[in-house]
């Protein structure tokens, strides 16, 4: 429980009530929306993006409520909380005994980490069965594209399965050597293979006597370290590098799929109105996409959405305020300035 409290206080402190608890939840849960991706940078909380994939909204809610009832947090308005004085003191105390695992900060590849992990699990499971001459097994991932990818993976390989499994084992051992045994164990024990069933994060938390949050963080920490190793020395880890497939352009990956579609239509000269009706989406959603694109791609032109004067006006207001809360900024701006414009400027300025 205390580790959970530590994490909650740590995050709430970062966001200072500028985002709702659900905004923070989306971040932890790894929701790929323009808003969360921006928030993770605005509040330098990128390390936590996608760090608690299994967290349910309900559990997060309960946790916040518990902290409130212990007077560690106070609600400043609906769904927005900040630390109380007691909360700040408690946080200081807890930071003496708890830390956030270091590997979490290695965020260069977080866009592909989940997919990489799924692919790795499938390769190890299939390879493990292959070297034991067992053709049939229940795949750990039922995602069709992952299964298809696994098939293709073997099609383009020249080494035989025994060489492959030896090599892969060696690569994983070397790459994990920079992790603690605990981190490596949490990663490896999730893998399944011939006559071996992986464990869930929750089961691992039980056997390691750690909290669920810490176990998840340690896993993500080791996974990110692993990916970073691969990226730094792809020649040293040829098989892992092939599984990770890091060569794909990142900018294309980091847009949500829906935003990418919108971008294609913008490039073909359609207005936002037209795109919204063509795609049966609301204007709001399309605007979200535009903000996301502007944020991800600094060279994306936004002059068709906002004029120079308004841009400077908003820029000034933002500079004069200490908060990033949209409603406050909106209040301070001219009447004709929309939320959309403000978010565009925030995205462009990357504040």
Q: Which residues of the chain form contacts with another protein (CB under 8 A)?
A: 53-54, 56, 118, 124, 127-128, 131-132, 136-142, 144-145, 162, 165-166, 168-169, 172-173, 176, 181, 184-185, 187-189, 191-194, 196-203, 206-207
| C-alpha dist (Å) from residue 118 to 105, 106, 142, 224, 253 | 21, 19, 10, 14, 16
What are the φ/ψ torsions at residue 249 (nearest 5 degrees)? Answer: -60, 130
| Integer Cα distance of 189 and 324 in angstroms | 42
- Closer residue to another protein (CB): 126 or 310: 126
- Closer residue to another protein (CB): 198 or 234: 198
Q: How far is the CB of 186 from another protein (least distance, A)?
A: 8
Q: How far is the CB of 22 from another protein (least distance, A)?
A: 17
| Integer Cα distance of 115 and 260 in angstroms | 19
Q: How far is the CB of 176 from another protein (least distance, A)?
A: 8
Q: What is the DSSP letter of 322?
A: S
| For the chain, counts of helices (H) and of strands (E) | 19, 2
> Which are the contacts of 282, defined by CB distance < 8 A and separation ≥ 6?
276
- Closer residue to another protein (CB): 262 or 310: 262
Q: How far is the CB of 200 from another protein (least distance, A)?
A: 5
Q: How far is the CB of 147 from another protein (least distance, A)?
A: 10
- Closer residue to another protein (CB): 73 or 187: 187
What are the φ/ψ torsions at residue 98 (nearest 5 degrees)? Answer: -120, 150
- Closer residue to another protein (CB): 61 or 315: 61
> Which are the contacts of 322, defined by CB distance < 8 A and separation ≥ 6?
none
* CB distance 55 to 28 below 8 Å: yes
Q: How far is the CB of 349 from another protein (least distance, A)?
A: 34
- Closer residue to another protein (CB): 3 or 15: 3
- Closer residue to another protein (CB): 168 or 341: 168
Q: How far is the CB of 206 from another protein (least distance, A)?
A: 7
Q: Distance from first CA to last CA of the chain, Å, rounded?
A: 34
Output the CA torsion 339→344→349→351 (10° steps). 50
């Amino acid at each position: 429980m205390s580790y959970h409290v530590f994490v909650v206080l740590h995050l709430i402190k970062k966001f200072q009530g500028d985002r709702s608890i659900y905004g923070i939840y989306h971040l932890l849960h790894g929701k790929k929306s323009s808003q969360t991706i921006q928030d993770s940078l605005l509040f330098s909380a990128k390390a936590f993006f996608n760090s608690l994939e299994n967290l349910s909204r309900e559990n997060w809610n309960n946790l916040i409520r518990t902290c409130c009832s212990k007077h560690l947090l106070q609600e400043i308005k609906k769904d927005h909380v900040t630390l109380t004085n007691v909360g700040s003191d408690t946080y200081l105390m807890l930071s003496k005994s708890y830390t956030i695992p270091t590997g979490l900060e290695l965020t260069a590849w977080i866009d592909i980490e989940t997919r990489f992990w799924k692919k790795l699990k499938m390769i190890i499971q299939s390879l493990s069965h292959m070297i034991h001459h067992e053709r049939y097994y229940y795949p750990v991932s039922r995602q069709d594209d992952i299964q298809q990818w696994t098939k293709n993976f073997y099609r383009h390989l020249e080494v035989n399965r025994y060489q492959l499994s030896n090599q892969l084992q060696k690569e994983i051992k070397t790459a994990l050597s920079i992790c603690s045994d605990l981190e490596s164990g949490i990663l490896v024990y999730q893998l399944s293979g011939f006559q071996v069933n992986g464990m869930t994060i929750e089961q691992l938390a039980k056997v390691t006597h750690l909290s669920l949050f810490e176990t998840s963080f340690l896993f993500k920490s080791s996974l990110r370290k692993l990916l970073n190793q691969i990226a730094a020395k792809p020649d040293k880890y040829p098989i892992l590098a092939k599984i990770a497939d890091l060569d794909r352009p990142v900018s294309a990956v980091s847009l949500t799929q829906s935003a990418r579609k919108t971008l294609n239509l913008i490039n073909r000269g359609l207005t936002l109105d037209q795109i919204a009706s063509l795609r049966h989406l609301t204007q709001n959603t399309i605007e979200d996409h535009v903000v996301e694109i502007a944020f991800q791609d600094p060279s994306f032109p936004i002059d068709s959405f906002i004029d120079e004067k308004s841009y400077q006006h908003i820029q000034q207001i933002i500079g004069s305020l200490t908060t990033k809360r949209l409603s406050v900024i909106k209040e301070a701006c001219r009447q004709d300035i929309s939320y959309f414009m403000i978010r565009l400027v925030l995205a462009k300025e990357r504040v």
